[in-house]
């Protein structure tokens, strides 16, 4: 079968021939119907070095995956060949308290996981291939009716990650509140839709690209602001001088974190999602009183079920550009150059 594999750190992934996987006990092979291309894949190709992560190449890329059950391992029940499914991206030990709650991303016993702090496309072979081996059937979620694998694939990260971030701050997103999303690209434009679907907050989108802001407005943002020296003042003006109740930074650079810190309100939440490597100095007087700074990583299995339900009901819909497997590196090139709006999905 074909597979887009990262063979070494600091290198471009390569489309190669690989053996078709065979499921062991409790495992499932799926036929890929969609694999999302993520900015974190670019970090894997270009930014990491040996020892940076608890795993290393070679492995097949693609941690946003959905498809159809192709082959069941011994002992697997509750699934049928041909059934459309989405793949939960983080694969924990399955035994610790958090994994039992479906929060594998925060597994507390990673040494017992199939791979520490990773999963399919993150140290193990992912979905940029014709077929994918899923380590445990519990990582699969049946797709609700009306949602195809190509539509579902980006929701497993680009939908789940912003949904988890929003859900953490729901008590602060009541009528009269304001939420700011900094960076309305692949994750951020879905975050805007999630905020409009599940909260009563005024939503302000911030980005450096006018085309991204236009997309955010089309997704329901109440206001769209170009990121410049006037952005903080504009957010203050839109909130009667108070600042935003919730600021979600989808970028995570020094500049965006500084903007977030200047925009958040007393008692507000500043949530860091992006992994651009920036830092935010925190001291008693550097932020408004009782502002909370928090980071997130992915989300839980129950939350993914909720995200898929929102999508099946038409309440959220990522903007997607599809590519064939032989065009995957072109998708990454366009993503790196900032030429893509929304999400790229590889459809083998």
For the chain, the C-alpha Rg in angstroms (whole number) is 20
For 112-134, what is the mean pLDDT? 96
Cβ atoms of 93 and 110 closer than 8 Å: yes
Mean of pLDDT over the chain: 97
> What single-letter DSSP state applies at residue 104?
G
Quick one: pLDDT at residue 70?
Answer: 98
The DSSP bridge partners found for residue 314 are: none
The DSSP bridge partners found for residue 133 are: 29
Q: Read off the tokens for 319.
A: 């903007």
Q: What digits encode the pLDDT tens for the residues 310-331?
A: 999 999 999 999 999 999 999 9
In order of their start, the domains of the chain are 2-157+299-346 (3.90.180.10), 160-295 (3.40.50.720)
Handedness of CA 75, 79, 82, 86 (dihedral sign): negative
- Reduced to 3 states (helix: H, G, I; strand: E, B; else coil), residue 329 is helix
183: region left, alpha or beta (phi > 0 left; psi from -120 to 50 alpha):
left
Contacts 24+ apart (CB under 8 A), 94-99: 94/136, 94/138
* Residues 6 or more apart whose Cβ sits within 8 Å of residue 171: none
Quick one: pLDDT at residue 286?
Answer: 95
For 282-305, what is the mean pLDDT? 96
Q: What digits encode the pLDDT tens for the residues 141-171?
A: 999 999 999 999 999 999 999 999 999 999 9
Quick one: pLDDT at residue 228?
Answer: 96
Q: What digits encode the pLDDT tens for the residues 176-199?
A: 999 999 999 999 999 999 999 999
Q: Is the pTM of this model over 0.85?
A: yes
* Residues 6 or more apart whose Cβ sits within 8 Å of residue 248: 162, 165, 166, 179, 180, 181, 182, 191, 271, 273
Quick one: pLDDT at residue 162?
Answer: 98
Quick one: pLDDT at residue 180?
Answer: 98
Cβ atoms of 334 and 26 closer than 8 Å: no
pLDDT band at 96 (very low <50, low <70, confident <90, very high): very high
């Amino acid at each position: 079968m074909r597979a887009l594999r990262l063979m070494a750190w600091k290198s471009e992934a390569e489309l190669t021939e690989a053996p078709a996987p065979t499921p062991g006990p409790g495992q499932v092979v799926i036929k890929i119907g969609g694999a999302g291309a993520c900015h974190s894949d670019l970090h894997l190709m270009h930014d990491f070095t040996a020892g940076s992560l608890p795993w290393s190449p070679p492995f097949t890329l693609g941690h946003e995956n959905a498809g159809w059950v192709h082959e069941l391992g011994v002992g697997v029940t509750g699934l049928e060949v041909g059934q459309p499914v989405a793949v939960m991206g983080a694969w924990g030990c399955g035994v610790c308290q958090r994994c039992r709650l479906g929060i594998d991303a925060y597994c507390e016993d990673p040494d017992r996981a199939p791979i520490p702090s990773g999963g399919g496309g993150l140290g193990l072979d992912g979905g940029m291939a014709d077929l994918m081996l899923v380590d445990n059937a519990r990582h699969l979620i049946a797709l609700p009716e009306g949602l195809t694998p190509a539509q579902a694939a980006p929701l497993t990260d680009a939908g789940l990650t912003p949904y988890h971030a929003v859900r953490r701050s729901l008590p602060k997103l009541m009528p009269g509140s304001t939420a700011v999303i900094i960076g309305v690209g692949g994750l951020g434009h879905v975050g805007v839709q999630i905020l409009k679907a599940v909260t009563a907050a005024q939503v302000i989108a911030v980005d450096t690209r006018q085309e991204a802001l236009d997309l955010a407005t089309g997704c329901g943002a109440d206001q769209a602001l170009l990121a410049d020296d006037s952005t903080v003042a504009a957010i203050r003006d839109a909130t009667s001088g108070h600042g935003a109740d919730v600021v979600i930074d989808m970028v995570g650079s020094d500049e965006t974190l500084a903007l977030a810190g200047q925009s958040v309100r007393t008692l507000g939440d500043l949530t860091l999602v992006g992994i651009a490597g920036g830092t935010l100095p925190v001291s008693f007087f550097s932020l408004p009183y009782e502002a909370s700074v928090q980071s997130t990583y992915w989300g839980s299995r129950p939350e993914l079920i909720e995200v898929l339900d929102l999508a099946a009901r038409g309440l959220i819909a990522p903007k997607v550009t599809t590519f064939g497997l032989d065009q995957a590196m072109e998708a990454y090139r366009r993503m790196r150059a900032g030429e893509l709006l929304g999400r790229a999905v590889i459809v083998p």
